[in-house]
């Protein structure tokens, strides 16, 4: 069986897991945490320059890191994964995938990392700046949101689901962006995404900014 090295609370692990679920591909999640030093060592060796997860390991020994590259690998190797990057929307899907990673997920992470760096005295100006950047990207995404999160899921949806799930905990999507809010709710209700939300539930107390009592 395929192995996916990652963690149930990790947004980028979700991204790969949502893609695997949407293709009906069975896999074993090898949890990367202090209790599993072998898995941590595997990621240290194969998780790219900064030893990040997720990392996919095929039965034939093929190893792929970076969530988007894992999805590209699935599309390249399995006919059942073609929906993830439909040929007639490939540029749009790849472009939105970059937007959700670079301008939602990674921006949101700045506020999270700042809280981890200085839990008692975070740089709140920096965190306010992150919230303003999120509001800006929410407004940019709003006119595109209604076309996203439709069955079957694409790579952009795989990126959008965890990015919007966690970003909304940092800066809630407001009434100015009803279609984006509806997209987040639509994605959260999809079985591929719900499985990740449920598996992450026991780890919510780890969210450095405090997880809200919803979702």
Ligand X SMILES: N[C@@H](CCC(=O)N[C@@H](CS)C(=O)NCC(=O)O)C(=O)O
# residues near ligand X by CB under 6 A: 9
Binding status of residue 115 toward ligand X by CB under 6 A: no
Nearer to ligand X among residue 6 and residue 149 (C-beta): 6
Binding status of residue 52 toward ligand X by CB under 6 A: yes
Binding status of residue 11 toward ligand X by CB under 6 A: yes
Say if residues 65 and 55 touch (Cβ distance below 8 Å). yes
Q: Which of 5, 53, 103, 165 binds ligand X (CB under 6 A)?
A: 53
Binding status of residue 167 toward ligand X by CB under 6 A: no
d(CA 16, CA 94): 15
End-to-end CA distance of the chain: 31
- The least distance separating ligand X from the CB of residue 130, rounded to whole angstroms, comes to 16
* Exposure letters 91-127 (e unless 16+ CB within 10 A, then b): eebbebbebbbebbbebbbebbebbeeeeeebeeeeb
Say if residues 195 and 17 touch (Cβ distance below 8 Å). yes
Count the residues in the chain: 215
Q: Which of 67, 134, 153, 160 binds ligand X (CB under 6 A)?
A: 67
Nearer to ligand X among residue 23 and residue 32 (C-beta): 32
Maximal CA-CA distance, the chain: 51
Nearer to ligand X among residue 10 and residue 127 (C-beta): 10
Which residue has tokens 């060592």?
41
Q: Which of 4, 10, 81, 160 binds ligand X (CB under 6 A)?
A: 10
Binding status of residue 100 toward ligand X by CB under 6 A: no
Nearer to ligand X among residue 19 and residue 177 (C-beta): 19
């Amino acid at each position: 069986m395929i192995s996916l090295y990652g963690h149930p609370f990790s947004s980028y692990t979700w991204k790969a897991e949502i893609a695997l679920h949407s293709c009906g591909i069975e896999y074993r999640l090898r949890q990367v945490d202090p209790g599993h030093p072998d898995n941590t060592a595997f990621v240290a060796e194969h998780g790219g320059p900064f030893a990040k997860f997720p990392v996919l390991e095929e039965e034939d020994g093929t190893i792929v890191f970076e969530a988007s590259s894992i999805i590209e690998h699935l599309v390249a190797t399995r006919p059942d994964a073609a929906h993830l990057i439909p040929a007639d929307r490939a540029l749009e899907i790849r472009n939105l995938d970059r937007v959700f990673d670079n301008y939602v997920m990674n921006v949101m992470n700045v506020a999270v990392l700042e809280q981890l760096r200085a839990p008692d005295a975070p740089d709140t100006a920096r965190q306010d700046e992150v919230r303003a950047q999120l509001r800006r990207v929410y407004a940019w995404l709003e006119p595109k949101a209604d076309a996203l999160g439709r069955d079957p899921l694409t790579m952009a949806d795989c990126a959008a689901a965890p990015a919007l799930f966690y970003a909304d905990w940092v800066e809630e999507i407001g009434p100015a962006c009803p279609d984006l809010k509806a997209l987040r709710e639509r994605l959260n209700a999809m079985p591929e995404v719900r499985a990740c939300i449920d598996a992450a539930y026991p780890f919510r107390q780890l969210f450095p900014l405090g997880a809200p009592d919803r979702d």
